[in-house]
Every structure is written in C-alpha cells, then in structure tokens.
Amino acid sequence: MGKTDKKVKPMHRFFGREHWIGISLFLAIYDMIAVAMSYFLALWLRFDCRFSTIPEQHLKAWMYFTPAYVVTAIFIFYVLRLYKSIWRFASYSELLRTIVASMLTAVVHTFGITFMMRKMHGIFTRYTRMPISYYIIGAIIQFCLILGIRFVYRFFILLKSEIHRDHGVDGANVMIIGAGAAGQMIVRDINSTKEVGDRVVCIIDDNKNKQGRYIDGVPVVGGRDSIMDAVEHYHVKKIFLAIPSAEMSERRDILAICQETGCELKNLPGMYQLVNGDVTVSNLKKVSIEDLLGRDPIRVDMGEVFSFLHGKTVLVTGGGGSIGSELCRQVAAHHPKRLIIFDIYENNAYNIQLELKEKHPELDLVTLIGSVRDSRKMFQVFEQYKPDVVYHAAAHKHVPLMEDSPCEAIKNNAIGTYKTAYAAMVHGCQRFVLISTDKAVNPTNIMGASKRLCEMIVQSFDVKIKEGKATEIPQLFTHYTKTRGGKEKLDLIGNAEFFRNIKTEFVAVRFGNVLGSNGSVIPIFKKQIEKGGPVTVTHPDIIRYFMTIPEAVSLVLLAGTNAKGGEIFVLDMGSPVKIDTLARNLIKLSGLKPDIDIKIEYTGLRPGEKLYEEKLMAEEGIRKTENEKIHIGCPLKFDIDRFLDDLDDLMDAAYANSRDIKRLVASMVNTYHQEGVDAIRSETYRMLMKEAGEDTVGDSAARESRDDDN
C-alpha cells in the first residue's frame, strides 16, 4: 500500500492542487504555435492572402528563423512570468507584462530575421530584409493572440456571472458604501469571483463629485441620505461598508441607517487590508455590536509597553479568563523571559496553554493550577519563579451570584488579592497590577464592594512601602504553618532590614463591562435571539459603559508600564449605552425586528444591580495622562492602619461564612450602600440618561419603535 500511495501522489498533485502546471504547459504550447503563425499570417496578408505569390526567399527566411525565434520568445515569456499568473484575476499588471513581452519579441524578430535574410543572400544582395508591413502586422497579430487567450477566460467567467445574475440565480443585490479604492476593489472582487450570484447594483458615497458617475459600470447613486431609497429601488439584500479610513462616529452613523434596512451588513475592518491590497469579500466581517458603541477605539503606544515587558517574567492570575487570556496572548507575542498562567479552572488554563504553544513554540510557558486564596501556594509560586510583573485578573465577577454567596466574594476577591500582593511584595516583584471594575465605584453590591476593598488593599500596600513601613503590613493566614525557613512565615522583627528594601509598585486599573467576556450580556442576547426570543433586559432604562477586550488589555498593560504606584487608571469609555438599545440593535443586526420578530421582556433589576455604573467617585477627581482617553483617579484617603487591622477580622468572618459579612464590609467601605443609592443620586442618573439618549446610536430609533408599539 505504501508504494502505491507514493506513485499516486504526484499525479494527484499534478491534476489537483498544482493543476496550474498543466495550464502553464498548455499556454506554452499555444504560444509556440501563436508566435510562429502570427508572422506567417503577416506574410500571407502582405501578399494579398495568396500563398503562391509569397516570394521564395521570404518564405525560406521565415521557415529557417522560426524555430530559433519560438524558443527565444518562450524564454522571454517565462522570464516575464506570463506562465505564473492567475488569469481569471488578470488585470493591469498582466496586461503591462504582456505588452512588454510582445515588444521585446517584436524587436528580436525584426533584427533576427533581417540578419537571417542577409546571411542567406549575402551582405550586398538586394533582398536584405522582409517587407516593413510584415514586421508591423506580425507584431500586432502576435500581441492579439498572446493577450487574447489569457483574457478570454476572465471574460468568459464575467459573462457567465452576468448571465446568472441577470436571471437571479443564487444571488443577492449588493450595495457598496464607499466609492474609494476599497469600494472599487470590492466591486471587482465580486465581479470576478467564481461563486456567481451576488451583484453590485449601486454605490453610496457622500462625495458629491462622485455621485452620478460609474465605477466598473455600477452607478454611484447618492450619499448616506439615499441609502433607504436605494435599498428599496434596487431590491438590495446585502450592504458592504468599504470606508476603512472613516472615523468611528461616521461609521457608526452610517451603520445606524443601514440597520433600519434589514439587509445583511458587512464591514471592512480597517486600513490594514487596503494598504496591503488585501481587500476582498472574504475580508469583510459581519457588523458587530462593537461597531455601534459610538466612540473611537482607544489607541495605546504598545511599543513602550512591550519594551517594558521584554525579557521579564510575567505572572497572570486568572490567566484562563477572558481578560487574563487576552493578557497572556499580548504578552506572549512580545518576547517575555517567561510567562506564567495561573488559574483555578483547569479547562480554561489548558485551552490558552495549547493556543500559546501553537502560536509561540519558543515561549517559556508555565501553566499552574491553584487558588489565590492559598497563601502557601502563592508563596511557592513566587519563590520558585520570581515574577517581575503580576497582572492580577483572578476574581469572582458575577453580581447576582455573589449577592447569594457574599463570603466567597470576600475570600476570593479581597483576601485573594491581599495574599497575592503580599507574596509579590516580599519576593521582589517590580509591579503589581490589579484589574478592577467600575462597579467598585459607590458599590451597591457585594461584588463591587469586594473590588473596592481590593483597590484599598493595593493603595495601602503602596503607601506603606513608600513610607518605609512595609513591616506594618500584616501577613494574613487561614492556617498554621510549620515552616521554619523561607518567607512563608515572616519574622517581621528579624527581617526588618529586608522590608526596608522593598520597592514593589502597586496600581489598579478600572474599566467597564467588557464585550465578549465571560458573563457579558452580548453572548446571552445572541443565544436568546438564536432560540427565537424573548430577549430579556432587566430594566428599560438601565445603562452601562462598554469596552472591548483588546481595549481593556491595552489599558492594563499601559498601567503596568507607566505606574508610579498608588494610581487608579481609568478609561474614558465615552457615552454610556442603554442595554435596551443594545438588545434592539443586536436583533436588527440579525436581520430581525424588535418586538415583532423577537420580543423583549423586562425582568426587573437583580439583587445588588444598579441602573447605572460610575467611572469615578466624585470626590476622587481625575488628572490626565498623555493619552487623552486615559485618566488617573486620585486615591481616596482613609485610615490605612485601621483598615489593615479590620481586614483580619473580615477574613475570619468570611471563612466562618458569617451572615453579617455585608455589614462588616459596609463598615470598611463607606461608599458601599446596599439600598437606596439610585434614589439618592437620581440627579446624576438623569444626567447620564440624557447623555445616553442623545449620544447612543440607534437610541432614538429604538425609543420611537417602542412608543409606536405602545
């Protein structure tokens, strides 16, 4: 069987994936005949299309010279790559190379056959050249034959596609938005694609100079205000957005109009494809809800970030989660000395481990399973691997679940952060970056309060270290250790000199809801839409700030690079988005109509849930950074010594599963309100609602739709 397979494989390659070799051989044979016969036809035409009137010396010269000329011409064609082009996509480049090849061979033929004539009849004989018309007509015929065979296939494909489209075979009418270079490339790609059916019927562009004109036979019918009429007039089923250079706000406004058409929407993501000439239908992506957030994506100078990470050992706790795994991806791509993935959930950790090993086989990757609540485990990890930078993403984040299990939120979020931070501090870690949330601002739920405790913990560590009082930071234990050496059970008096040399910088990063993350509302909505509804929204007026996973990770990395210690980095996430509007937009992006095809049900606020989230407490204040979309919150002042003392009692209560845990948290976090917070800050909420209503795309349309239904 093995021998048989080896014999069959070359034939399979010849007639299968590499059938272009066969096509090239066919073209070469055709070219041999074409270059030989083109000049014979020129001779025949020159003498009135009568073979008998052709002078014998001319005919002999053609016969003797043709073999050498054919070999020379084929060599020139090969050098100019006329046998390696994909001729169904033939364009200006192929035409130019064919013209150059024809001119070169015409010159070769002119001088070659003239030399042949002189050699045959002597230098001073009368017949030293062919008729001038022979050279001109022969070159023209050869050019037409060589070019024709190469472009006839493309012409046949286009003609076949047009016939199918005219008869409505398996296709849809397409509208292109953007009459620039990208739009033109998309039009040509659709026209030349093998999969016939779709047809570009109109183009939209706001440039009045382009309106009323044509691109490859397709009319530019008007600007964005003509989209609705053009969709109806041309029976458009698909809309392709091909304006990669447009600002996010402009793109958002156009997409908002397109949403109302019910057409399938696709979008060219950015300038990268245009710059690289890689603009095809396959590169168009379905319009996602991120495209409708209404703000430009945050851009960070990642060169500075990754020069900081280069050659360092980096630990990511919660490395299997949505934020943690993206952190691992970006760090791994920029040559750290070692990357350590730490997570309690082995499936997530295993998945990101496999992904990174495949993409970065050279990476020194360590994957560890454990809990940040286990101080012995954390000390072991830091003692063995000595990470330079820690990104602490491990946390419980689900608000309603934590309301039912508040002690678990404190154990994992607050105490887990404390133990990880302490292990980082005493093992010489340079930077500790806490990943926080906007739910830590004026929290009304235990999850948000636990994250506020985390922020206070890293701020306490930073203050004590800068004051040279790291020995005053207690080491929290939930077990009695028998270890007598090492740093797991530190002697705060005997190691006083060691504590004075600690330089670890602690910083927190606060951002809003992350689209596509575990627990994000978008995947839930999508599943509900796939099932035919209903889509459940907690409240018609609930609003949130949103950002994408790459944006969140960029901010985290930037904080780890530029931190001086004690800061809370905050992303300016733009205008808040109404969840109801988000749900309605997602239904429209699926080609359905809210409240008609898919019902929306309001289930009421869940325990601990607010109508709105805040980016900063009013009393914190902000100061700007070099990036206009990134701010730094000034730390709130609190009694750090009392706070550190109270943490020990809070830990005991949490591990005792005390029912009084929320009251204890409220005594430590004075901004934590379990009830009545929305009523107290109703004016702030009304201002945010106004901002969301005016600036959020599709909101007015959604509101009108809901009013009409009522």
Positions annotated as catalytic residues are: 439
CA distances from 433 to 368, 398, 417, 505, 553 (A): 19, 21, 10, 8, 12
SS3 511: strand
Residue 93 φ/ψ, nearest 5 degrees: -60, -45
Question: What is d(CA 562, CA 573) in angstroms, rounded to the nearest whole number?
Answer: 20
CA distances from 537 to 260, 525, 603 (A): 21, 9, 6
The residue type found at 663 is: R
Q: Looking up tokens 């059938």, which residue turns up?
A: 19
Q: Which residues pair with 343 in a beta bridge?
A: 369
Q: Looking up tokens 């602690």, which residue turns up?
A: 506
The sign one gets for the Cα dihedral 135, 141, 144, 146 is negative
Which parts of 47-131 fold into alpha helices (H)?
A: 56-79, 92-121
H helix or E strand, kind and range, residue 339: strand 338-343
**139: Cβ contacts below 8 Å, ≥ 6 apart:** 38, 102, 103, 106, 109
**302: Cβ contacts below 8 Å, ≥ 6 apart:** 330, 554, 557
Of 674, 671, 683, 545, residue with least CA distance to 614: 545
Q: Measured at the alpha carbon of residue 154, what is the angle toward residues 149 and 159, in degrees to the nearest 5?
A: 120
CA distances from 55 to 42, 66, 114, 135, 505 (A): 13, 17, 15, 16, 97
Q: Looking up tokens 């009319």, which residue turns up?
A: 219
Question: What is d(CA 205, CA 225) in angstroms, rounded to the nearest whole number?
Answer: 10
HSE-up (13 A, CA, CB side) for residue 504: 30
CA terminus-to-terminus distance, the chain: 73
Burial 78-116 (b: 16+ CB within 10 A, else e): eebebbebebeebeeebeeebeebbebbbeebbebbbeb
SS3 487: coil
Of 577, 611, 608, residue with least CA distance to 681: 611
CA distances from 154 to 30, 87, 91, 243 (A): 17, 7, 10, 28
Q: What is the 3-state secondary structure (H, E, C) of 603-621?
A: CCCCCCCCCCCCCCCCCCC
The residue type found at 683 is: E
515: number of Cβ within 10 Å: 21
**625: Cβ contacts below 8 Å, ≥ 6 apart:** 562, 569, 631, 632
Question: What is d(CA 192, CA 88) in angstroms, rounded to the nearest whole number?
Answer: 7
Which parts of 633-676 fold into alpha helices (H)?
A: 640-655, 661-668
